Amino acid sequence: MKTLLFNPFEKYSDRTLIAFGLLFSLIGGYLGFVFNARFDGVIDLHFVEKVSVYQPLFDIAIDIFCSSILLFSVGKLINNKTRFIDILSVSMIARIPFYFLSFFNINNLMYNISKRILSMIAPEKIHNFVITDIPVLLVVSMTTILFLIWLIVLLYNGFKVATNAKETKHTLFFIGALIFAEILSKILIITLN
């Protein structure tokens, strides 16, 4: 079970991983549409008032594209035999935990809490504070942090398998590529949307 959750790349073929990656990307896009979630960055998720049916799928496609291209480029520096299909499957599979965070916005719960918190910036709006928001925010925050760690662990383990990365500098290359992928995905989503 540990291998399935944290490193399925060692056990399953690239075709199986791509198939599951595509399936869960579509499921993630649907969940994003139903629960008004925008996956507007490789390691980013925001809840909005309303999304169109294509926006979450567009976000996911941009995120997968950016992480795949940048991790593949770095992978080629590490190991010339790195295959794009392996990095693509890693990029798709690693995102699966994030899709389930969409459920936190049932009935726009998280969007409304965020709106109330942002409205409290003005001192006269402090009455918008709802005490029951605190436990919800704590649970959502802790879960989001755990799922973000899970996403990064999956991405890193898959990257290591795909590139045969073993050195500290390879880990630093991975971190740099991930940061740049986040920045690039944000720019592309804002520009193209």
Instruction: Assess contact for 181 and 67: CB atoms under 8 A.
Output: yes
Taking the CA atoms of the chain, what radius of gyration do you get in angstroms?
18
Q: How many domains does the chain have?
A: 1
Strand runs labelled E in 50-165: none
Domain that holds residue 159: 2-192
94-98, 111-115, 127-131: least confident range: 127-131
- DSSP reduced 3-state for 38: strand
Tell me the pLDDT of the chain averaged across its residues: 93
pLDDT of residue 48: 95
Alpha carbon distances (Å) from 94 to 42, 67, 121, 153, 186: 10, 10, 36, 8, 18
